[in-house]
Amino acid sequence: MAKVKVGVAGYGVIGLRLATGVALQEDMELVGVADVAPTLSVRGLVEAGMPYRFYNAMPENEEKLKAAGVPISGSLEDLVEQCDVMLDATNAGVGAKNKELYARMGKKAVFQGGEKNSVADVFFHGYANYEKGLGQQFLKLTSCNTTGLIRAVDALDRAVGVEKVAITIIRRVADPGDYHRGLTNALQMDKAPSHQAVDLMTIMPHVDATGILVHTPVTHGHIITVVASTRKKIDKANTLEILGAHPRIRTVKIEDGFLGNASLFRYARDMGKLRGDLYEIALWDESIVNSGNDIMFAINIPQESVVIPENMDAIRAAMQMQLTRDEGTAMTNRYLGIK
């Protein structure tokens, strides 16, 4: 069976990780990546020996790219023409413009959480609604926080039923290496309900969700606390059994040294993970407690890498490579090395 040909538009924080993810999928072929300028990520690609072909998405920047030593294989249109599906990781709003190109050329595309829901036929999550993405032309992923949150809520919902959730998101303010948010020493409240709760209800409409978000002056990962009201009362042991069985949820303990987000980032680097990336969210064992009939717990979201598996799931659904949630996610997990 011929490999599905995939291109990545936007070679930034998410795009470069999408390229890595696709390259690891043995039933997919990464045709190339596209960007508009010799950014640090693109310069890093050059220093790495150009493992992927590069396509210029902004013709007027060709001389800048050549001056930076970037070999150009063609235009964005040239890349799209060769692909079955595009992963669009461009800045919010750019993907919607690129959609016109994808539609004109009859190609499928997967957009990231920053785009408006209207850009796609399906608001997609690999575990919660895989089958809704089957054969669709345009899919949009949830944000990093929503992606990890849905993994946990969906697992509980399938096991014991979830009626409602209340979340608090302690949100990192920027990605490592970013300066556009400035140098801060403050916490900032966001208005409720947070979009993550609203997005969860869009994908899981039977769950009543609300949430509060607090911006924090850190860069490595978000932490979400979840209070879930389940149809069948569960305790800590039940929760550990249910969530611990999920391939994309890693259970950790404070007593083992996992004190917070920085501990998990360091652990990933110590394991030799490329860029310190973890595909799994982390569930703190000691955070799991009952509040009346509800269950409460805390999870860590590695914002730079958490959505990569669900993007691979989206390709599988759109291209109908696997027809069920279990088969599709299992193939993604296998090639990404998720146990």
- Sketch out the chain's domains with CATH numbers: 4-142+307-336 (3.40.50.720), 144-301 (3.30.360.10)
Give the global pTM: 0.95
Q: Is 144 a catalytic residue?
A: yes
Q: Which two structure tokens, joined as six digits, stand for 115?
A: 């785009």
- pLDDT tens-digit profile of 119-139? 999 999 999 999 999 999 999
SS3 for 131? helix
DSSP element (H, E) containing 164: strand 162-172
SS3 for 141? strand
pLDDT at 1 over 90: no
CB atoms within 10 A of CB 272: 7
Alpha-carbon distance 148 to 169, whole Å?
12
Q: Is 35 annotated as a binding residue?
A: yes
Among 22, 144, 242, 298, the active-site one is 144
Candidates 125, 126, 144; CA nearest to 328 is 126
pLDDT at 46: 97
pLDDT at 47 over 80: yes
pLDDT at 181: 75
SS3 for 305? coil
- pLDDT tens-digit profile of 283-326? 999 999 999 999 999 999 999 999 999 999 999 999 999 999 99
Instruction: Report the mean per-residue pLDDT for the chain.
Output: 96
SS3 for 40? helix
pLDDT at 263 over 90: yes
What phi, psi does 49 have (nearest 5°)?
90, 15
Cβ(46)–Cβ(68) under 8 Å?
A: yes
Provide mean pLDDT across the span 183-198. Answer: 91
**What type of residue sits at position 330?**
A
Confidence grade of residue 179 (pLDDT, cut at 50, 70, 90): confident
